[in-house]
Structure formats: structure tokens, C-alpha cells
A and B are shown apart, each in its own frame.
Chain A
Amino acid sequence: MQLNEGKTKARTAQLMRLLVLPKHNRPANETTRVDNIQHTVQRESRWRTAANWLAGNPKVAFGLGIVGFFVLVAILGPIIIQHNPNAFSPDVLQPPSAAHWLGTTQTGQDVFAQVIVGTRVSLLLGFVAGFLATLISVIIGLTAGYFGGLVDDLLSLFMNIFLVVPALPLAVVLAAYFPFRGPLPVAIIVTITGWAWGARVLRAQTLSMRRREFVQAARASGETTFRIIFSEILPNEIAIIAAGLVGTVIYAVLAQVGLEFLGLGDVTIISWGTMFYWAQNNEALLLGAWWWFLAPGFCVALLGAGLAFINFGIDELANPRLRKERRGRFTAPTADLSAQARKVEA
């Protein structure tokens, strides 16, 4: 349920940008290839602006901080934990204590160690699947958008078929039928169900880009198709792709956790999702073992939130209108809006 929702909403923002923004109000970061120097200069200043802006934007900084923290835990975590997360022990269902920071499971395993070790698996799977799905969506979306005609029709059909098949039921079916269980099938399934939205958005964007002057100029000057697509058009869609990547990673993490909760992953591997599975099957809540249940859930939520905050930032970077103006400079909302409008027009 929620898997589709998050995706849909994230991309609605992008769709809106494409359809509601009148042409002449597009962000001022599109230039023609002809004016190379100006282009480079504008690029540079764009990065600097971005860096400055980042420093002043707490949400995104927070998001990056969270994600960075989890990446760090994933890399270093398994080295620094003191308990073997797989070891059974007689301390069954102990609440958090000095010996076991997050308590123990039904079979005496240390929850803290499991959460740390699980971070690596969950993060890796989320990022890899998210990245793969985005890669596929970029390739297909850009190709469909640029070539148009029959290629576009076929690829669109392909895209739309994957869009209309509901993700979770399809994932359940695929996962149940894979001959072996494990992170690989889960990653594959998440990728299969996660690429179509981004592709559609990118296709729409590329379709409009195709008619731009700088693209016409590139074609006129004899650049190869490959170069046009990947060196001309692609850089202008970086923001959308980045937002799509982050959104897809969120989807991948949540989908993975959902599938593993249903027992469709490899339950002998420790990850956040399989921790849920075991906690649920051993009625952790009913037994009052809130620590077992809370820890992985909190991690997933925090990571998801962090990624979503990063997306806030990317959205604002790409669309200046979403940027929060600082308080106190303007007195009334009306004045803000007109000031914003004038800023962009200039």
C-alpha cells in the first residue's frame, strides 16, 4: 500500500513541475552549448550556490547527516560490536541492559548487534536496488523520450505495463516463486517493480528537451546520438534523476523490509526486515519485548526520513520557488511571492 503511495507522491511533484511551469519560467540553468564559457561559469556558480544554500538549509543537512551516519555504521559496525549477532544464549527476551544494550531476542541473541549487522545488508540492498532501478529508468526514459516514434511507443508500452501491475502483490508472487531465497531475489524484485515511474518522468522531460535549441544545435553540428543523449540532455535532468534515485532508494528499503517481514527473503540472514519477521513470529509485542520490535523499525523510519529530507533539498535546488525564504525580510506573504517571481524573471 504505502510503497506505491510514497513513489506516486514524490513523482507528482516532478510531474507538476513539467506540466504547470510555463516555459519562460524555467530555472535559469539551461543554456546552449554554443556559449561554452558562459555555460561553465554558470555551472560553477551553480555549485557554489548549492554549497552555500546547503549550509543554510537544516532539513537537507539533517538528512545527509542521517544517511551518512547509517553508511558509517554499515561499514564499520560489524567490526565494533561485541556480541555475535547469531549466537544463541540463555538470556532469553531480556530488556535493554548494560550487557545487552538493546536487549535480547526469543533465542537469546543480542538485538543491538543484530541491528548493527543488519544495517549493512539493508542499506546495501536498498542502495543497490535503488541505483539499478534508477539506471534502468534513465536508460529507458531517455531513449524513449529522445527517439520518439515507434521506439517511444514500444518502450512506453513496456513502461506502462510495469506501472499498472501493482508492486506489492507482484513482489509477493515473484518472491514466493523464486527457487532460492535471499537478498538477490529481493533486490531483483524491488528493481523490477521500481524502475517504471522514474522512466516515465524522464521520458516526459526528455520529450520536451528534445525540441530545445541546444539540442537542435548539437544535432546540426553532427554530434552522435549517444553524446547528445548522455552529454547534453542528461546533465540537465540531473536534479530529477537525483530526486528519483533518492525516492527509489526509499522505496527499495521499504519494499525490501516489507517482503522480508512477510518471510519472502532469506530468514537466516540478519537484516532489519528479517528481524521484523522473527519478532513478529515470536509475538514480540504480545510478550512485551518492545525493544526487539522498536529498534529495526526506528532505523528504517530514520533512514527513510533522512532520505526524504535530502529529497526536499533536491526539490528546492531544482525549483527555486520551493526555497524557503528567510523570515523577517518580507512582511507579508504577498510581497514574498512577487519578490520571488521578480527574482526568477531577472
Chain B
Amino acid sequence: MLSYPFRHGLGKVFALLSLLLVLATLLPACGSASNNSNYGGTLTVAPSPTGDYTRNFNVFASGSVLSGTQGLIYETLLFFNREDGSVKPWLASSYHLSNNATTITFKLRSGVKWSDGKPFTSADVVFTLNLIHNHPAVDYSSLWNVIKGVSAPDDQTVIVTLKQPSSPLLWYLGGQTYILPQHLWSNVSNPVTYTNPNPVGTGPYLLKSFSPQLYVFDRNPHFWQPGKPYINEIRYPSFNSNTSADLLLSQGSVDWTGLFTPNVNKTFVSRDPVHNHYWFPPNNVVTLYLNLTKYPFNTLAVRQAISAAIDRNKLYNVGEGGYEPPAHPTALVLPANKNFLSPTYANASFAVDTAKVASLLQGAGFRKGNDGIYVDKSGKRLAFNINVVSGWTDWVTDSQILASNLQAVGMDVKVNTISFNAYYGSLQTGTFDTAISWTSPGPTPYFLYNSMLASTNTAPIGQPATSNFERWSDPTTDRLLQQYTSSPDPAVQQEAIAGIQKIMVEQLPTIPLIYGATWYEYSTAHFVGWPDQQHPYAMPAPYAYPDEEIVVLNLHQA
């Protein structure tokens, strides 16, 4: 019956009209702000092999919360880009740190909604912070050590008062605290054990489906950034080991991962050189911690000798397969922290200098014994251990290289590969000789310096130290750190960091070895807009939060 009219020209007009009608109804549904073909697509992400998933979207469950919860579902007030130290307003449209750094005022963005349609207001921020206060088990950044009180004079303003001046708090408070909806979480009896199976957030994505081997997000139609996100769906398959993830990466079934892949050129890039890329920007400094309470590490000459004997290029090329270049003597993460680099040390670098080693040790009263090992005036041999976790294979190789470097110049060094528990326990209680370990970075060098050198972060031998394992306790360092904390003025902060750089280079409280890298592999076969060396707009690994959100928002179909 329908076919009859089409035989005439009129029929053709009808057909055309109905086609137009259909298109007209379909088009608006495609995307309100743009008829850009960039829209759509499914992104497959493999953050790291953790095995099967459990349905856990609790932002506080730091060890086991599912990737994407922090950032893609729940958001922060500000976004700190750790690759260049810049700050972007996010849920807060602006912030202000008072001159004495004891009050922070946030102006919240208007028009933001929770994914269930309720409006986002300052009450949610206050609620979140008070919740953290009431449950110290989730105060991972020790916010309430510093915060005195929180108040919301109106729906769009939050005022946070501090007990002592602290500009660094902004990073933890603004960049690492995820805001929760008061109207849903006020009913939660124990936020520590709540698994939050059906998350409601302000972020660009919603939970679509969950199974232990795969969970899927799809776009949030109420998201506050107009026209975003571009990508329709994000899939997270589970993996038990790096091997299977590597295999899938090689096959092209995954768009984005953060894996340590040996010989990444061969396993990944060479399989599709046009689309397969990687970038491993440095994010922290892998350091040799020396127990400064033990002889002979309390002698500066010995520390300098050890540092001068280490072949960092070998660590870089052999131990780390060419991924993690030698660190800078100031322990700054470069190029991310380049704005803070003191001109005095702009061209400083580590170099192997065996002659210097000899002169330093001899100057300190050591003589070489018959077995080639240095002996001090009292006859004690220069012998010690390096502790490393036996599962961290690249660091085990690094330790072996270190040991051979040091043996060659006359120090009897053994590598102790131990379990994580034993390793970490010995670091905390200060029962180690030396150990290879990471440092805790942040958007500026302050965070690394503070965790590594502040005397508040250390403890006597036998007591657990938070992070200053080497037991460096120096009034000048503390004063400089304090100088940084108490002023929001960049010039003052710069001066403080410059002062600490001098201490780092001249006194070697710890020995920087190489950079720790952010693992990041991606394919441009389906999506473009990735961060890379020329566009370091966020920390690029899928396990970096909330940076994962920033990256996803920037991606669109190729």
C-alpha cells in the first residue's frame, strides 16, 4: 500500500519530506551544543592489574575504590596540574588565600547539579569536610590537623579557617578532596565501611553497569561543562597480571593504560607505530635513604662519597630500561618544577667521580684495607646493606647496580631483598642501614621536601616515622619549610625552596638517584586529545586522580 504513492513524483516528495522529518527529530538528540562528529565512542581503560572488582565507589576507600570514582564521578574544588604546577578552578570558580595564609575562601560555581538533579551548594562542601572530621580514619591528608573550622555564609561560598598558616593545604583540600552529596551521605551510618554501590556525583560520568570483571560508565547528561564529555562510554576490564594487560595492549584492545612495560617500543609501539604512543614523565625522585642516626652515614663526607660512586646512567639504562633518567641534585622533579629551580643549580648534575670518592673517604680518615674495603681509624670496615622489596624488580636490579658500583670503590655493600612488610617496618622504625625508596611529590617541590625532610615527619629510632625515614632533623630546613607554608606569596615561597635546594645539594640528607616515572601508554586509533610532552595538561596515567577526569574530558573521537 505504501509503495503506490512512490511511483509518482509526488511520492518522491513525500519520501523526502518524511526523511527530513525523521532527521529533524533525530538530530537534536545527538548532542545539544554541537553536531560535531567528535561525539560518541567507547573508551577502554586498564589502570593497573588488581584482579576482580568489588562494587566499591567509596571515595575514601583509597586502596580499593574503583578507578574513575575519584574524578569521573566525584569532583574536587580545584584542579592542580602536577606536570607544571598550575591551578585551575573546578567546582570552585575561584579561591582566595588570605595574606597570613590562615583563611581560605572558595566561591563555588553556579549551576552545578548532582547526577540525580539536586543542586550542588556550599552545604555539600561543609558536610564533606565535617564528615572527614568526624571520621579520622578517612582523613588521609590530615586536613583537620590544620583546619580549625568550616562555614558557609551562603550557597556559593565556603570559608575555611586554619589553626596555623598553611598554603600547602590548598593542594589537599582543593585538589584531593572529593565533594559528596549531603542529601545522600548524611544517611550513611559509617562512611568508612560504606561501599556506595550506586554513586551519585557531580562528575561527567555515571555508573552504567557493574560485574566483577567489567564495569562501565556512561555520560552524565547534567554535567556542568557545556558540550562535554565527548565520549559516550568508558569500559574498565579487569586483569590479574601485567602480562595479560600487555597482551591486550599489544593487540589494540585497550586505549589507555598505566603499565610498567619492559621494552615498550618493541611490545607496544612497534605493533602500530602510527597510533601507539607512550610518555613516561617523571613524578617523584627515587632516593637512597641513609639512616643518619647510624655511623658512618652521619658523616657528610661518606654521604658525598657514596653519591659520587653511583653510576646513575647505568641505573637509568640498565635498571630502568631507559625510562627513568638520573635525578637532579636538588631533588626537584624536572621539568614539572622548573619554575622553582634556583639559577645557581640550573646546570647542576650528578657525575661518577671515583677520584673524588677516594679523596673524600681518605679525608674522613678511611684507609683501604687488604681486601680492598675501606676501614676507619678504629678498624671498622665500611660495610652496609641496601633494603629493597623483592617484588619490585626494577628496583632490585637498581640495588644490585648500586651494590656493584659501591663495591668497586671499596665499600662492602649487600642487597637485602625482603618482603614489603619487613621493608616498610624497617623504614618506619629506623632499623635499616640504607634503603631505596620513593618520595611523596605534589604540585610544587614543597611537598617532596616536607615529607622527606621535615622534623615533624620523623621519629626517634624504634618509633614509627611517617615519611622522614632517614631522621633528618635540621632547624634551618624546618624554618625554610615553615617560611613556605606561612605565605601565599610566590616570591617568598620561591626563596624558601631555593634555600632547601642549597641544603639538598650541599648536605645530602638523602641521595637522589633517578626519577620515578608515571606509566602511560595510549592509542590514537580511536581517540585524540591525549596529554603528551608538548601538551602536559594533566598527569597522564589512568591511575592519577582527579587527572583522569581532565584527560577524559579532553578526549574525543579521531
- A residues lining the B interface (CB < 8 Å): 86, 88, 93, 106-108, 176-181, 263, 266-268, 277-278, 280-283, 285-288
| Set of chain B residues within 8 Å of A281, measured between Cβ atoms | 262, 393
Please determine whether A176 and B262 come into contact, CB atoms closer than 8 angstroms.
Answer: no
Can you give 5 contacting A-B residue pairs, CB < 8 Å? A88-B318, A263-B391, A283-B243, A283-B261, A287-B266
- Nearest B residue to A178 by beta-carbon distance? B419
Given A86-B400, A107-B318, A283-B243; 20 other pairs, CB 8 A cutoff: A88-B401, A106-B321, A107-B319, A176-B419, A177-B421, A180-B418, A180-B422, A181-B419, A263-B391, A266-B417, A267-B396, A268-B415, A277-B393, A281-B262, A281-B393, A282-B263, A282-B393, A283-B267, A287-B267, A288-B266
- List residues of chain A with CB within 8 A of the CB of B390: 181, 263, 266-267
Closest A residue to B259 by beta carbon equals A283
Q: Is B549 an interface residue (CB 8 A)?
A: no
Which residues of chain A come closer than 8 Å to B421, judged between CB atoms?
Answer: 177
Q: Which of B366-420 contact A (CB under 8 A)?
A: 390-391, 393, 396-397, 400-401, 415-419
Q: How far is the CB of A275 from chain B (nearest CB, A)?
A: 13
Point out which of B261, B263, B416 has the most chain A C-beta atoms below 10 A from its C-beta: B263
B residues less than 8 Å from A266 (CB atoms): 390, 417
A292, B263: Cα distance in complex, Å: 15
For the residues of A in contact with B, the DSSP-based class is loop
Contacting residues, chain A, for B267 (C-beta < 8 A): 283, 286-287
Contacts of A107 in B (CB 8 A): 318-319, 397
Q: Could you say which residues of chain A place their CB within 8 Å of the CB of B393?
A: 267, 277-278, 281-282
B315 CB to closest chain A CB (Å) equals: 11
Q: In the complex, are the beta carbons of B415 and A283 less than 8 A apart?
A: no
How far, in whole Å, are A281 and B259 apart by their CA atoms in the complex? Answer: 12
Chain B: how many interface residues by the 8 Å CB criterion?
28
Which B positions have Cβ atoms within 8 angstroms of A?
242-243, 246-247, 250, 261-263, 266-267, 314, 318-319, 321, 390-391, 393, 396-397, 400-401, 415-419, 421-422
Would A283 and B242 be within 8 Å (CB), given that A263-B391, A278-B393 are in contact? yes
Task: Tell me which residues across on chain B come within 8 A of A263, comparing CB atoms.
Answer: 390-391
**Contacts A266-B390, A267-B396, A268-B400; A282 near B262 (Cβ below 8 A):** yes
CB distance from B412 to the nearest CB of A (A): 16
In the complex, A60→B475 CA distance in Å? 75
Task: Let me know if B419 and A177 touch, CB within 8 A.
Answer: yes
Q: Cβ of A283 and Cβ of B401 under 8 Å apart?
A: no
Q: Is the CB of A287 within 8 A of B262?
A: yes
A227 nearest CB across to chain B (Å): 47
Shortest CB–CB separation between residue A93 and chain B, in angstroms?
Answer: 7
| CB of B269, distance to nearest CB on chain A (Å) | 13
Which of B242, B397, B400, B401 has most A Cβ within 10 Å? B397
- Inter-chain contact A283/B246, CB cutoff 8 Å: yes
Report B-chain residues with C-beta under 8 Å of the C-beta of A177: 419, 421
For the complex, give the distance between the alpha carbons of A181 and B247 in Å. 31
- Cα–Cα, bound, A287→B271 (Å): 11
How long is the Cα–Cα vector from A283 to B417 in the complex, in angstroms?
21
| CA of A107 to CA of B398, assembled, Å | 11
B247, B318, B417, B422: the one contacting A268 at CB < 8 Å is: B417
Per the bound structure, the CA–CA distance linking A176 and B390 in Å amounts to 10
> Quick check: B401 and A280 within 8 Å, CB to CB?
no
A93 surroundings in chain B (CB, below 8 A): 263
Which of A107, A108, A288 has the most CB atoms of chain B within a 10 A radius of its CB? A107
> B396 to chain A: which residues have CB within 8 Å?
267-268
Determine whether the beta carbon of B418 is less than 8 Å from that of A181: yes
Residue in chain A with minimal CB distance to B262: A282
A162–B148 Cα distance when bound, in Å, is 57
